[in-house]
Structure 1
Amino acid sequence: MDIAGIQAVMRRGVPLAEAWGIEVLEAAAGRALLRLPAQPLLLRPGNTISGPALMGLADVAMWAALLSLTEGRDESVTSTMTVNFLRPAGSGPVLAEARLVKRGKRMVFGEILLRAEGSEEIAAHITTTWAVIGPTAA
């Protein structure tokens, strides 16, 4: 499945991703790179992207990484998410780099790094596990 296909599945499955304008920049082989554009709606006091917005971006990025392995057919769900906020992400666009670390029959373990676009400094480090739910028949 190509990037446009993964983005379409993602936006149908998580309408908030479309409302926030989240873009899939890359997705292949259990990895994904997504971009959250700057939006005043997502800012918190201090003029930085809010924690809930960053967690939502991370969750969608992990799903995009999973979709890259399943031809866009995956109904797995988040089981746990541990977020370490390391520094403010700023008020501009944020990039999420997701990768599957281990994919088992019942659980998937992944890691997501968030950073402000144009910066190499990590704003948040996220680890997550997902419960595997088999893809539905087309």
Structure 2
Amino acid sequence: MRWSGDEILEFLRADFPQAFRDGWDYEITDLAADRVTVRLSSHESQLRPGGTISGPTMMHLADFAVYVLLLALHGQSASLSVTTNLTISFLRKPEAGDLIAEVELLKHGRTLSVAAVHLRDERGRVVAHAEATYHMAGAD
């Protein structure tokens, strides 16, 4: 692993400040070579009518969390890696509150990396399942 959770968040705040817009705040709670857990403290801007966390917010967190894992593995050289595919199944309405992404790296290659993501609400219920594929542009 090239970067710690703190180093990743420092890099993202400096180079991708738009990810922290409108009160968006993340915490990396678990980080290993093949997995990461990222918590998003939800904000009213991420809620849809009815008080549940929006689908775009869930997709954002799934994509963001996979990117975090790739940055941990490769550091700065993974910064140009891009999402080539992201699919998501929404399973139940997440209540307003923190949203947790648990990422498992399924394949990590020189060109492509594939990860599975379970999104959980604060009660621990799986509210969505996603799979993301990244093109490893520039990663060494």
For the criterion TM > 0.5, the same-fold answer is yes
Report the count of equivalent residues: 135
Superposition pairs of residues 1-138 of structure 1, within 5 angstroms: 1-19=3-21, 20-74=24-78, 75-117=80-122, 119-135=123-139
Structure 1: state its 5+ residue gaps.
Answer: none
CA distance, structure 2, for counterparts of residue 15 and residue 120 of structure 1 = 29
Cα RMSD after superposing both structures: 1.6
CA change 1:111–1:12 in 2 (3 A) is farther
CA change 1:30–1:11 in 2 (3 A) is farther
Structure 2: state its 5+ residue gaps.
Answer: none
Deviation at residue 32 of structure 1 after TM alignment: 1.2
Name the TM-score, length of structure 2 as normaliser: 0.88
CA distance, structure 1, for counterparts of residue 14 and residue 31 of structure 2 = 17
CA contact (8 A) 1:95 1:116 kept: yes
Deviation at residue 67 of structure 1 after TM alignment: 1.4
Amino acid at match of 1:95: I
Deviation at residue 72 of structure 1 after TM alignment: 4.5
Name the TM-score, length of structure 1 as normaliser: 0.89
Deviation at residue 8 of structure 1 after TM alignment: 1.5
CA distance, structure 2, for counterparts of residue 21 and residue 51 of structure 1 = 17
Amino acid at match of 1:30: D
Deviation at residue 130 of structure 1 after TM alignment: 0.8
Identity over aligned pairs, percent: 36
Amino acid at match of 1:12: A
Greater helix fraction, Structure 1 or Structure 2: 2
**C-alpha distance after superposition, 1:76-119 (max 9, x if no partner):** 100000000000111111111112110112111111110112x2
> What secondary structure is seen at the aligned counterpart in 2 of 1:133?
coil
